Amino acid sequence: MHVVQGMNESEAIMKITNIKTFPLKAARDIFVVKVETDEGIYGLGEGGCSSRELAEAEAVKHYSRFLIGMDPMRIEHIWQKCYRSNYHEGGRVLTGAISAIDIALWDIMGKKLGVPVYQLLGGACRERVFGFPTISMDNPDCLAICQEYIDAGWPCLRLGAATPIPGWAKALHAADPDAANMFEPRASIAATVELLTELRAKLDKAIPLGVEYHHRLSVAEAAAFCQQAPSGSMAFLEEPIRDETPEAYESLRQMTGVPFAIGEEWSSKWQARPYLEKGLTNFCRLDVSNIGGLTEAMKVCGWSEAHYIDIMPHNPLGAVCTAATIHMCFAVNNFAWVEINPTINESASDIFPVQLERNGASFPLPTRPGLGVEFDEDAVADHPHSLTDMPHFHKPDGSHTNW
C-alpha cells in the first residue's frame, strides 16, 4: 500500500478501484456512472450527451484504464488528465463522460468528509433554489396549466414553442407516418406569437415568461419571431439558433433586444467564452452533465458573474444530474432559476431510493453527505436502456432540420 511520507497507515490515500457504467431508462434514457473506492465509499455521476449514452459508456472505459488506482480526492487533477490525455481533446461525448466521472468524485469527497457537496463548492448562498416548469404551447390547455403553476408558487414559466403543421402541409403529407415530426418555422412563429400575446395579457405580469425554441430557427426566422412578439412579452428567448457559430448570435443580437438564454450545448469553458465575453447571452444555460461536471461548471459560473450574467441551468435528466445541479445552484450567487421536470428528474425511485427533496417550486438545502442520492444497482435490470433516438424533425419539403 502506498503511504505518503508523514502519514501512518490509517491515513493512507483512498484509491479508485472500479468505475461502472449504467446506460438505463428512467423516464428517458440516461447514463449513470458509479465510481468505487477501496474505502467502500462510492460516488454517482451522470453524463448528459442525450441519446448517445452507449458512446459515453465506451469513453468511460478509456478513462478507467488510468483512473483506477488514482486518488479520487484529486478532482481538478483528474479532470485535467481526462481532458488532456488525448490529442483530440473535448467534444460532447467525451465531456459527457468526463462530467459523469467528475460529479461522482465530488460525491465521494462529500461522503468522505461528511458534508453536502455545496459545502465543498463554497457553501450556501441561499436557503432554497427555485425552478421553472416547462409548458408546451401545443397543449390546448396551456393557459390553464400556466395559471395552475403560478397559483402553486412557481416564480417563472418556460414555454415550449408551438409546432403546428399548416393546412397546406397536412394535405401534402396526409399519409406520412412521420408527420408528427414535421416542423414548419413560419407556422410555428405565427402560432407562438399569438399564444404568447394572449398569455402575457392574461397571466400575472410579475411572472417572467420565457420561450424555448430548441435551436430550431435560422437567424432570419429568430429575428422575425422577436420582432413580431409584443415588446417586453418575453423574459428570455432560449436557444433560438444553434450555437456552433457565435457570429450568428452577434448578427441576431443586432436585430433584437430580447434577452437570450444560451448554453445547454456547451461542452467546455472554451465554448462558453465568446457568449460570455461578447455579451451574447443574458442567462447562462450550462449543463453540469455536458460541460465537464461541477469542476468546469463552477469556473463558468464565476466567469459569468464577472459579466453580470445569471446562471439558469439546463437540467433535463435524472436524479444524479438534478442533485449535482441543485448543489451548484446553492453555491453560486449569480443564479436565476433552474429547470425542473419532476417526471424525469425524480423518476426511477427503485434505482434511486433516496433523492434530493423538493418542496413544490423549490429545493431546500440538502443535508446528506455528498450529492444525497443513493443507488440500487440491482434495480437497473428492470430499466434497460432503450436506445431511443431524439425525434428527427423535418420540414414539409422533406429536408431534415433541428429537433
pLDDT digits (tens, 9 = 90+) for 150-172: 999 999 999 999 999 888 888 87
Which band of pLDDT confidence, cut at 50, 70 and 90, is reported for residue 8?
low
Q: What is the DSSP string of 286-301?
A: --TTTTTHHHHHHHHH
Q: What is the DSSP string of 110-165?
A: HHHHTSBHHHHTT--SSSEEEEE-EEETTSTTHHHHHHHHHHTT-S-EEEEPP-PP
pLDDT greater at residue 107 or residue 178 = 107
Q: What is the DSSP string of 170-233?
A: HHHTTT-TTGGGB--HHHHHHHHHHHHHHHHHHS-TTS-EEEE-TT-S-HHHHHHHHHHSPTT-
Confidence check: pLDDT of 196 > 70: yes
Q: Which three cell numbers stand for residue 18?
A: 472500479
- The dihedral through the CA atoms of 76, 82, 85, 86 has a sign that is negative
**pLDDT at res. 274:** 97
Domains present along the chain, CATH in parentheses = 119-365 (3.20.20.120)
**pLDDT at res. 179:** 81
- Please state, in angstroms and rounded to a whole number, the distance separating the CA atoms of residues 387 and 62: 21
| Chain mean position to CA 387 | 20
Confidence check: pLDDT of 247 > 70: yes
pLDDT digits (tens, 9 = 90+) for 340-399: 999 999 999 999 999 999 999 999 999 999 999 999 999 999 999 999 999 999 999 999
Q: What is the pTM of this model?
A: 0.95
